[in-house]
Chains A and B, each alone.
Chain A
Amino acid sequence: DAGITQSPRHKVTETGTPVTLRCHQTENHRYMYWYRQDPGHGLRLIHYSYGVKDTDKGEVSDGYSVSRSKTEDFLLTLESATSSQTSVYFCAISESGGYNQPQHFGDGTRLSIL
């Protein structure tokens, strides 16, 4: 398995609170991605990073921000969590990010916002 660790694995919090999810990789891959997975929607891309301090928006980026200060860490922040952000969040990495490259996934963070 690719060396990807997501933390925390489970979190319950209240509406309006800030939440930060962490993705840590040991593969030294350049590309990192954050997805959310919801029933009926499959996986949807939130943000991705193509290098340290280089990030871009995905399909569902509103309400989320990211930061990547080191190659190995990619943080996803919900500045003020809302119930619509209850979801399972997955981090993925890719060696070069090209369309011919597979992505390798962590085991997810289950986030519940009450």
Chain B
Amino acid sequence: SQQGEEDPQALSIQEGENATMNCSYKTSINNLQWYRQNSGRGLVHLILIRSNEREKHSGRLRVTLDTSKKSSSLLITASRAADTASYFCATDAGFQKLVFGTGTRLLVSP
């Protein structure tokens, strides 16, 4: 069963704009990870945020985590056409496994 659900399912923006996507989950977690998937490719790990962290940055990416609301957001600032991809959140499901959400499809137009 799905632990995380991303919102929105699809997002279309212009280059230079910011893109925000959200992930909600159901049970308590140890950490939450975000992945990107370009069309026809495998997932690529972007960032991991631990349950005791509220915010984390990596380049143009900013991730927040609100464990009281069981939600996380991924912000991509100054989007580029190359950011066009699907983005997935993943939460731990036991020590050895991850559970992935259904993803947000981001389209960045030039």
* Residues in chain A within 8 A of chain B (CB atoms): 4, 31, 33, 35, 40-45, 48, 50, 56, 58-59, 90, 92, 97-100, 102-108
Contact = CB atoms under 8 A, between A and B. Distances in A.
Contacts of B1: 59
Interface stretch (B54-62, B77-85, B95-103): B95-103
Q: Interface size for chain B: under 10, 10 to 19, 20 to 34, or 35 or more residues?
A: 20 to 34
14 contacts: A33-B97, A40-B102, A41-B2, A41-B102, A42-B100, A42-B102, A43-B88, A43-B100, A45-B98, A97-B96, A99-B95, A100-B31, A104-B45, A108-B40
Contact of A48 (B40, B43, B97, B99): B97
A100 B41 contact: no
B42 interface: yes
Interface in B70-110: 88, 92, 94-103
Contacts of A42: 2, 88, 100-103
Nearest to B30: A99
Given A43-B43, A43-B88, A103 B30 contact: no
A99 B33 CA distance: 10
Contacts of B97: 33, 45, 48, 58
Nearest to A50: B96
A31 B43 contact: no
Which residue, of B33, B43, B44, has the highest number of chain A Cβ atoms within 10 A?
B43
Interface in B33-59: 33, 40-45, 48, 50
Contacts of B45: 102-104
A104 to B, nearest CB: 7
Given A45-B97, A48-B96, A108-B40, 10 more contacts: A4-B42, A41-B102, A43-B43, A45-B99, A99-B92, A99-B96, A100-B50, A102-B48, A103-B45, A108-B42
Nearest to B4: A42
B48 A105 contact: no
Given A42-B103, A43-B88, A59-B1, A103 B95 contact: no
